[in-house]
Homo-oligomer: A and B are copies of this chain.
């Protein structure tokens, strides 16, 4: 589990400001998210949360993840499998993604040099950047190997 202190504070501050309440469902969902905040889908999260509290419904998970997103704790992402996925909005240790178009594998990487260039460009356009998304879609080593063994059949 990553260091979540900062995010817990953000969430508490947001909830206090909006007059929102803390419930055991929310707590479970938030804990489950913090435990594995690595591009999880609603369905995956729901499955984990139901291990502790089988009565929790879809809608509550959707609503809580929206809350996490609004409070700046999580970011919504879509990769291309039709699902919305969530990850910690962790700017400090920000990672980007290499996605295999064959097997959907996701590899994370960090590239401080790119982040720096990004900032420059945004600044040239007068933008203030809140977060970013940098994804490369291609073929991973494993799938390249498979493709070599069993060539196309079209």
Contacts from A to B (Cβ < 8 Å): 17-18, 76, 78, 80, 98, 100-101, 107, 109, 111, 113-114, 117-118, 121-122, 125-141, 144, 154
Interfacial chain B residues near A118, Cβ < 8 Å: 111, 114, 136
Q: Which of A17, A113, A114 has the most CB of B within 10 A?
A: A114
CB of A46 to closest CB in B, whole Å: 21
A18 touches B127 (CB 8 A): no
Given the interface pairs A17-B154, A114-B114, A117-B111, the reply to whether A130 lies near B138 with Cβ below 8 Å is yes
**Docked complex Cα distance between A135 and B134 (Å):** 6
Instruction: Report the separation of the CA atoms of residues A136 and B116 in the bound assembly, to the nearest whole angstrom.
Output: 12
A107 CB, nearest partner CB in chain B, Å: 6
B137 & A109 in contact (Cβ 8 Å cutoff):
no
**Alpha-carbon distance A136/B134, docked complex (angstroms):** 8
User: 6 smallest A-B Cβ distances: which pairs?
Assistant: A126-B141, A129-B138, A132-B136, A133-B135, A127-B138, A78-B78
